[in-house]
Amino acid sequence: MNIYQLFVRTFGNKNINPLFDGDKSQNACGTFANINDNALEALRSLGITHIWLTGVIRHSSMTAYPDLGIKATNPLITKGKAGSPYSIMDYYDIDPDLAVNPQNRMEEFEETLRRIHDKGFKVIIDFIPNHLAREYKSLCKPYDVEEFGEYDNKNLSFDKDNNFYYCPNQEFKVNETTRQQDNESTSTYYEFPAKASGNDVFSPNPSVNDWYDAVKLNYGVDYQNNHTKHFDTIPNTWYKMLNILRYWCEKGVDGFRVDMAEMVPVEFWRWSINELRESHDAIMIAEIYQPHLYKDYVGAGFDYLYDKVGLYNTLENIYRYGQRAETITNVWNSLQGLGDVMLRFMENHDEVRLASRHFVGDAFKAMPAVVMSMLMNRGPFMIYNGQESGEDADGAVGFSGDDGRTSIFDYAVMPRHQKWMSDGKFDGSDFSDEQRKLYELYKKLLNFRLTNDAINKGAFYDLMWVNPWYSNFDPQYVYAFLRYHNEERLLIVVNFNLNESRYCEVKIPQDALEYMRLQVNESTSQKVDKLGSELNYATDVMTGDKIEYNLNEVSSRGIAMSVDAAGFKIIKL
């Protein structure tokens, strides 16, 4: 499974001269129409199987659509002109920014689903269960659906069937830093009683670093009273959120990337996923950052989990802080067999762009990390729109500042991605030579991981234990492992040293040879496998170069090679 995270607002934005902190009329906005047949054909050719449409549900925004009854949200509780796509205003609505004709936004979304499905992709969207916007008001909910908080007892800080948590008899207080950032100096915001903020802040005055634009939803856990759980009967919020999941499945959505799934009790997921799958075989991906919860959330029905705090953080630390490459071994060890359910990535909307000066400053130098994420296990791999074009998110565009991320809060553009988009042709005709080289590299790797049985079906073997620092190997910068399935056997070696190549003699122990069904013919010293075919050399998958080696000596002397600075080798044995 290769997932492409497509942030609709920026993916199709063709504006080449955006203004700092510009509004929609000044900076423009991508729409569903920009995800045209050319784009989909290009993504299929790139090796993508699943498209995660990000930011499609209507959320906080300073853009008003008065003819549709949609007001601009209060700037004091809105992050950026475009607003956070995770501050939901209506779970049953599509964001009007993304439609050519906002009045027909749902029809345009449904047509986009059909177009994507016709090209053979599965479609994933965000589900944001932990919090919603402070000014949430549904315009599109079915007639028989209650509004969130409609029947809450606001005199209680907690009640099992309240949808929100309250600060009784206390008014919500806008943080002064937020007020100072607001260009509309006359803005006021009134909320009484104050509701708890999205990141579990149970006070009326969240800080500027809190999720002050969002309100925490109540699933029956009394956080202020020893986290006691009240699940003797199903809490009201559970039913409402299950209805939302069913609603989008019935629209044709194939699955959900669940925002901050770990902040919602696992008991809800066990119940809701079971209920949902009685009628819909939805893919469920959990954003989760607490490894001790992994098994519980897989047990509750999630297909895949974010591998942020494991592999991503380890690879980031190798690049940015000099952590040793051999510590990657700790990642798979700590997962205790869950490697194949981990969703791997090196970019998404939360993370710094690889080509950014805030990370490594060069998309090619980041390829060892990308290769590790792609090829280490059988689980899904994801890229973020613009990654394949070397997007570097350089400079501040508005609310988000200059942090190496493509802003999700502003009407932003992706200049390098626009070179691939090429005014809707999606043929890369405006690419620089370096961009074209990068794009073709991603294309080759993504398609390789789809079609190679050793990668999508095979086992993993870590070679670091048999290649210590005192041999002709450098575990400070070099990591080596095997992937194998039947007659497909791969040796993968990456070099994280950004400036120097590394000479290696990579040893493969006897038990690994046996696992791969390779054995030495004692009488002839020929290299043979158990099927009897002769093996005289290995092949570098990326270049086609031949690497000669003696199978009799791979356990003692290894396979000799030189790996370029910030390079990698995929060797077919």
More confident residue, 553 or 396: 396
Q: What band does 537 get if pLDDT is binned at 50, 70 and 90? A: confident
pLDDT at 83: 96
More confident residue, 184 or 465: 465
pLDDT at 471: 85
Span 117-129, mean pLDDT?
Answer: 98
How far is the C-alpha of 198 from the C-alpha of 214, rounded, in Å?
Answer: 5
- Provide the CA 540 distance to its chain's centre, in angstroms: 30
Q: Which of 389, 405, 388 is nearest to 397 (CA)?
A: 405
Q: What percent of the chain has pLDDT over 70?
A: 95
pLDDT at 519: 66
Query: Residue 531: is its pLDDT beyond 70?
Result: no
Query: pLDDT of 144-184, one tens digit each?
Result: 999 999 999 999 999 999 999 999 999 999 887 765 566 55
pLDDT at 187: 79
Q: Which of 349, 365, 357 is nearest to 404 (CA)?
A: 357
Span 184-201, mean pLDDT?
Answer: 88
How far is the C-alpha of 528 from the C-alpha of 521, rounded, in Å?
Answer: 7
Q: What band does 524 get if pLDDT is binned at 50, 70 and 90? A: very low
pLDDT at 533: 40
Q: What percent of the chain has pLDDT over 90?
A: 90
Asked if 459 and 485 touch (Cβ cutoff 8 Å), the reply is yes
Q: What pTM was estimated for this model as a whole? A: 0.95
Q: Are strands 304-306 and 342-345 parallel, antiparallel or unpaired?
A: parallel
Query: pLDDT of 542-558, one tens digit each?
Result: 999 999 888 888 988 89
Q: What is the DSSP letter of 309?
A: I
How far is the C-alpha of 526 from the C-alpha of 534, rounded, in Å?
Answer: 7
SS (H, E, C) 131-190: EEECCCCCCCCCCCCCCCCCCCCCCCCCCCCCCECEECCCCCCCCHHHHHHCCCCCCCCC
Report CA dihedral (197, 201, 205, 207) to the nearest 10 degrees: -90
> Rounded to the nearest 5°, which phi and psi values hold at 217?
-90, 150
Span 520-525, mean pLDDT?
Answer: 47
Query: Residue 328: is its pLDDT beyond 90?
Result: yes
- Two tokens at 438? 């990068």
Q: Which of 546, 548, 490 is nearest to 518 (CA)?
A: 490
